[in-house]
Chain A
């Protein structure tokens, strides 16, 4: 079968969704099919250009394709008689983020019109899809709540599981992944400044913009933490990233209201590391159970500081929570062959 994976592209930005599409392609091929990725450019700024880009996707004609797997808004608007959605993202700024005031849609009637347009186009695309899977429970609930469509949660597998074999409990907290305001690495720095001096932090990952990296560096300076924080803001080789993760005492990941389980937490759980997150981190909470697989704190420095301290003070506890995280992850049975089979069903 010829399987076309349809995804968005923010030109010159490579992120988790792109990585997922590539691994999906690889695994569809491993299952004995042909697979290719169609990446459709999409810029959500300015919002006034969103409708024409939606039309663009709708206007494309596909030929020589047996099955489409579409991942994101607006890529999933593409027309094909055999279309399965593996929904990673709706346009959240027209849905839940709009409701909390985090949107780039204009206020007033113009914004309302855009929201209606996006919702109608979404509903039409969802209705014409054979099956809808989502990448997390949060995405599933949002789809149900805002669009009234049922979906099945299909959690994305880890892409290179062999790298995350774990290791001894180290003396630092590891915070990996992209660096930006939504991922709130700054909150860890604030917390660290309130924690005892033996607590160390390793933050590693590519900043979304040079300014994101600069802000973090300035905060380390301002809080006088340079001897306790290591910042590695390169686009890391996977092996280096895995080495950092495998050697940590615990792994912290505190995005604001993330949809998915988060690769960082999935990989940490597989490596048997205790997990740290915050009460408002969304999908991450499916893996982080306070007192079992790690710690869940309120999203402020005062609440996080004792958690960091505890994670770095009791290796035995960190190890046992890490073991529980690993057991929880393995119990979910998330692997590529099952995932591909479901998507092509």
Chain B
């Protein structure tokens, strides 16, 4: 089958929104399909949005048997066999309207733009043969704002067989970009409250120097240099596999994220218990407290207690790691399921 994968992008920015597209491309090609990947630029500013939406409307992909659209506003593309794997709205006009992220006035003009956007989106969404989302959170939003039902199709990680466990060390790892909303600082502060010799490793690059510097100072201030390792760089895939293979457990505690996040799925493939917080949003679709990890209150003390438990009761930690792998099956997080559903 000729399949066009369509998404929007910001040139030179790489991350999860591209991974889901490119990994799917690889899997479809392995199955013998002809795949064309189409990334088109988009800026979400209120004054520029609609002309760009028109551009998406004018794309001619009639050469494809089916199109699968991801990041907004690619769902506006017209095609008789349009499938959406919808990963988010232009959120400042939806769930982030009443938030500091909006960045423009709540006035008649912008409310008009918002209403027009909702209408246009709803029309385009209704054109789709089938709508999948990457999380229950996003499905709920589609229902709430557009009145449209959808099916959750959790995005698997690439080449999951790489991940494995070779025992439990004393170290909890957090493999993720160093950004304030990923809250590495909360874990560092929690480390000051732990009572066991549990260790912490933070690794990832950052969009700026500010946050990594703050983390580094925080570690020094709290005298945690010998128990917390900060690697401010994009580690290699091999390093990541090795860290996850050896670690005690893996942390992932973003603030109210839409989806469960690749770091938690990769750690689950490595049979490691997960540590997250009760306000982490979509991560809670994956992690159940006491089952495949711990869901702590987002406070240093509560996190410290969870970290100590992971360290002290290794038998239970190991069992939760096994449950983490099993949980992926329960949620159907696999490429075979994804391909079956997208090609149905």
Contact = CB atoms under 8 A, between A and B. Distances in A.
A57 B55 CA distance: 7
Interface residues of A, number: 27
A41 B59 contact: yes
Given A11-B61, A41-B59, A62 B2 contact: no
B70 to A, nearest CB: 16
Interface stretch (B40-48, B111-119, B173-181): B40-48
A43 B62 contact: yes
Contacts of A63: 10-11, 41, 43
Contact of B63 (A4, A12, A52): A12
A39 B38 contact: yes
Contact of B11 (A4, A11, A41, A49): A4
B63 A43 contact: yes
Interface in A284-314: none
6 contacts: A38-B11, A39-B38, A42-B60, A43-B60, A59-B55, A60-B40
Given A12-B36, A60-B52, A60-B55, A53 B41 contact: no
A55 B54 contact: yes
B51 A59 contact: yes
B101 interface: no
A11 B63 contact: yes
Given A52-B58, A59-B52, A62-B11, A11 B43 contact: no
B48 A61 contact: yes
B45 to A, nearest CB: 8
B117 to A, nearest CB: 16
A228 to B, nearest CB: 35
A181 B42 CA distance: 39
A68 to B, nearest CB: 10
Contacts of A43: 60, 62-63
A257 interface: no
A57 B41 CA distance: 10
Contact of A61 (B41, B59, B64): B41
Nearest to A68: B11
B4 interface: yes
Given A2-B11, A10-B63, A41-B59, A62 B36 contact: no
Nearest to A65: B11
Contacts of A10: 63
B211 interface: no
A216 B183 CA distance: 65
Interface of B: 2, 4, 10-13, 34, 36, 38-43, 48, 51-52, 54-55, 58-64
A56 B56 CA distance: 7
Contacts of A60: 40-42, 52, 55
Contact of A56 (B11, B36, B59, B63): B59
A60 B39 CA distance: 12
B52 A41 contact: no
Nearest to B67: A11
Interface of A: 2, 4, 9-12, 34, 36, 38-43, 49, 52-53, 55-57, 59-65
Contacts of A53: 58-60
A7 to B, nearest CB: 12
Contacts of A36: 11-12
Contacts of A55: 54-55, 58
Contacts of B55: 55-57, 59-60
B107 to A, nearest CB: 23
Contacts of A11: 2, 4, 36, 38, 61, 63-64
Contacts of A40: 40
B189 to A, nearest CB: 33
B234 to A, nearest CB: 15
Nearest to A57: B55
B12 A61 contact: no
A2 B10 CA distance: 12
A41 B38 contact: yes
Nearest to A36: B11
A2 B13 CA distance: 11
A8 to B, nearest CB: 12
Contacts of B4: 11
A214 to B, nearest CB: 20
B53 to A, nearest CB: 9
Given A11-B2, A56-B58, A60-B55, 8 more contacts: A10-B63, A11-B4, A40-B40, A42-B60, A52-B58, A56-B54, A57-B55, A65-B12
A49 B60 contact: yes
B90 to A, nearest CB: 13
Q: Which residue, of B34, B39, B58, B63, has the highest number of chain A Cβ atoms within 10 A?
A: B58
Contacts of B54: 55-56, 59
B39 to A, nearest CB: 7
A60 B10 CA distance: 12
Q: Which residue, of A4, A39, A43, A56, has the highest number of chain B Cβ atoms within 10 A?
A: A56
A2 B48 contact: no
A49 B11 CA distance: 27
Nearest to A2: B12
A41 B265 CA distance: 34
A9 B54 CA distance: 19
Q: Which residue, of B2, B34, B38, B60, has the highest number of chain A Cβ atoms within 10 A?
A: B60
B179 to A, nearest CB: 17
A36 B9 CA distance: 11
A39 B37 CA distance: 9
A95 to B, nearest CB: 22
A80 to B, nearest CB: 10
Contact of B42 (A34, A42, A61): A61
